[in-house]
């Protein structure tokens, strides 16, 4: 057996979910609780009857690739050849890392707190990983200088998620300019930026930067999972310069051949009907309710710029894994220990707020009950 597979540790996030009871208040969930718009499926169903469900080219249906490229209009990524359609943003990220990084010599820099899959995918490929942590003092704001300072001689790619899972911060234009200008000044082999934009349609502030607007060596990964409540459809994409996409498509072809044609037709309908932001108002309303509940609770939290998470601070000295287990045991609330996203988020919990509003409000109340009476406000 492949020892790298054996060595991959289990997921702390899944460990918490596995403890969920039917009665649990689930603030762990990374999946919208609202239903997708079934109209997007009608044309795909018509196509099943009329044309069947045949393979598309490896990189995806050219009409869909065109629609994606034209929707984002990122510089150097505006053509059909700038897009590879993938099996969700999970495969998009896997293919991007596998294409860019030579396990024999390259290193990936992960901007933490971060979703653990970047580092685990790299480990599966035998690629070295280093990390750079954003600071609790700054509310985990993306700090361009700190990121650049962590780029080493072997670093060939930097991955960050903005709007961020777990911190809910976005990278601002200022921070993005500091980062991209410094990378451009470096000379030599380019350092690639991989921008995981999966929460792009859940952005609640004006100052969010798209790295692809600023830096030509950027790869963008995204999917319909969060924007349109289609997590299970597994439809994502990579945007990048055409030469990079041609190489990425080779990897994609050998790993999965092509994305589901039915799902690609659903995606085409969504892009052509301009429905990517159809749930945006729902999220804005939920966020307002969330902020009211948090302020009422007395919990200390990082103001969410985007995504559908919020990080709340535990009482000083509390271990996040122990706290998360205790919250399940005593309060029947699921929350994710901060340390699952790197040591910088130890002492915090990540909450998602896509459950029913009354569940979110009650869950936050219970967390405050757990945190607040035993020590100074946490």
Which residues here bind a copy of itself, judged by CB under 8 A?
1-3, 5-6, 8, 31, 34-36, 38, 41, 45, 48-49, 51-56, 87-88, 90-91, 94, 98-103, 117, 120-121, 124, 126, 229-234, 247, 250-251, 254-263
Give least dist CB 355 to a copy of itself, A.
13
CB nearer a copy of itself, residue 172 or residue 261: 261
How far apart are CB 89 and a copy of itself at their closest, in Å?
A: 9
Residues 6+ apart with CB under 8 A from 16: 28, 324, 328, 334, 335, 336, 337
Give 15 or 177: the residue with its C-beta nearer to a copy of itself.
Answer: 15
Of 227 and 261, CB closest to a copy of itself: 261
Q: Under a CB-based contact definition with an 8 Å cutoff, are residues 140 and 344 in contact?
A: yes
Element (H, E) at 130: strand 128-133
The answer to whether 334 touches 10, Cβ cutoff 8 Å, is no
Please classify residue 17 by burial: count the beta carbons closer than 10 Å to its beta carbon, then call 0-12 exposed, 13-18 middle and 19+ buried: middle
Nearest distance, CB of residue 87 and a copy of itself, angstroms: 4
Rounded CA separation 137/333 (Å): 27
Residue 48: how many CA atoms within 13 Å on its side-chain side? 10
Minimum distance from CB of 3 to a copy of itself (Å)?
Answer: 6
Q: ∠18-23-29 over CA atoms, to 5°?
A: 50
Name the minimum Å distance from CB 265 to a copy of itself.
Answer: 9
Q: How far is the CB of 6 from a copy of itself (least distance, A)?
A: 7
Contact 340, 12 (CB under 8 A): yes
Considering beta carbons, is residue 159 or 368 the nearer one to a copy of itself?
Answer: 159
Burial classification of residue 73, based on how many CB atoms lie within 10 Å of its CB (0-12 exposed, 13-18 middle, 19 or more buried): exposed
Report the 10 Å Cβ neighbour count for 90: 17
Query: What's the helix, strand, coil split of the chain in %, to 5?
Result: 45, 15, 40
Among the listed residues 241, 197, 237, 196, the one whose alpha carbon sits nearest the alpha carbon of residue 215:
241
Nearer to a copy of itself, 22 or 376 (CB): 22
DSSP tally for the chain: helices H, then strands E: 13, 12
Min. distance of Cβ 98 from a copy of itself in angstroms? 6
Nearer to a copy of itself, 163 or 240 (CB): 240
| Nearest to a copy of itself of 124, 315 (CB atom) | 124
List Cβ neighbours of 99 (8 Å cut-off, separation of 6 or more).
244, 247, 248, 250, 251
CB of 223: closest distance to a copy of itself in angstroms?
10
- Rounded to a whole number of angstroms, the minimum distance from the CB of residue 352 to a copy of itself is 14
Taking the CA of residue 369 as centre, how many other CA atoms within 13 Å lie in the half-sphere pointing to its CB? 12
Residue whose CB is less far from a copy of itself, 93 or 170: 93
Minimum distance from residue 185 beta carbon to a copy of itself (Å)? 22
Distance CA 192, CA 216 (A): 9
CB nearer to a copy of itself: give 90 or 184: 90
Q: Pick the closer one to a copy of itself by CB: 267 or 364.
A: 267
Give the CB-side neighbour count of residue 234, counting CA atoms within 13 A.
Answer: 9
């Amino acid at each position: 057996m492949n020892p790298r597979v054996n060595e991959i540790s289990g997921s702390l996030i899944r460990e918490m979910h596995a403890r969920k009871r039917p009665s649990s208040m689930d603030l762990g969930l990374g999946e919208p609780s609202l239903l997708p718009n079934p109209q997007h499926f009608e044309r795909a169903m018509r196509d099943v009857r009329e044309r069947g469900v045949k393979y598309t080219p490896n990189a995806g249906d050219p009409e869909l690739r065109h629609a994606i490229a034209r929707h984002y209009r990122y510089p150097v990524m505006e053509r059909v050849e700038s897009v590879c359609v993938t099996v969700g943003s999970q495969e998009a990220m896997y293919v991007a890392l596998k294409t860019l990084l030579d396990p024999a010599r390259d290193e990936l820099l992960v901007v933490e707190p971060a979703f653990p899959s970047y580092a685990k995918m790299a480990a599966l490929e035998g690629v070295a990983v280093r990390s750079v942590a954003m600071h609790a003092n700054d509310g985990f704001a993306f700090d361009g200088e700190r990121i650049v300072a962590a780029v080493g001689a072997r670093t060939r790619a930097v991955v960050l998620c903005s709007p961020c899972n777990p911190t809910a911060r976005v990278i601002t234009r200022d921070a993005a300019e500091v980062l991209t200008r410094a990378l451009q000044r470096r000379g030599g082999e380019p350092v690639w930026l991989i921008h995981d934009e999966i929460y792009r349609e859940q952005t609640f502030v004006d100052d969010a930067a798209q790295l692809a607007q600023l830096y030509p060596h950027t790869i963008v990964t995204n999917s319909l999972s969060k924007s349109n409540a289609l997590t299970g459809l597994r439809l994502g994409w990579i945007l990048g310069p055409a030469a990079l996409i041609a190489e990425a498509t080779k990897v994609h072809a050998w790993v999965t051949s092509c994305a589901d044609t039915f799902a690609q037709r659903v995606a085409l309908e969504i892009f052509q009907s301009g429905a990517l932001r159809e749930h945006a108002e729902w999220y804005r309303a939920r966020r307002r309710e969330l902020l009211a509940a948090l302020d009422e609770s007395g919990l200390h939290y990082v103001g969410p710029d985007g995504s559908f998470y919020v990080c709340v601070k535990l009482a000083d000295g509390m271990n996040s894994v122990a706290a998360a287990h205790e919250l399940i045991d005593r309060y029947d609330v699921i929350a994710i220990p901060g340390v699952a996203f790197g040591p910088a988020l130890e002492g915090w919990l990540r909450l998602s707020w896509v459950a029913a509003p009354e569940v979110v409000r009650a869950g936050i109340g219970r967390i405050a009950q757990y945190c607040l009476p035993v020590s100074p406000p946490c």
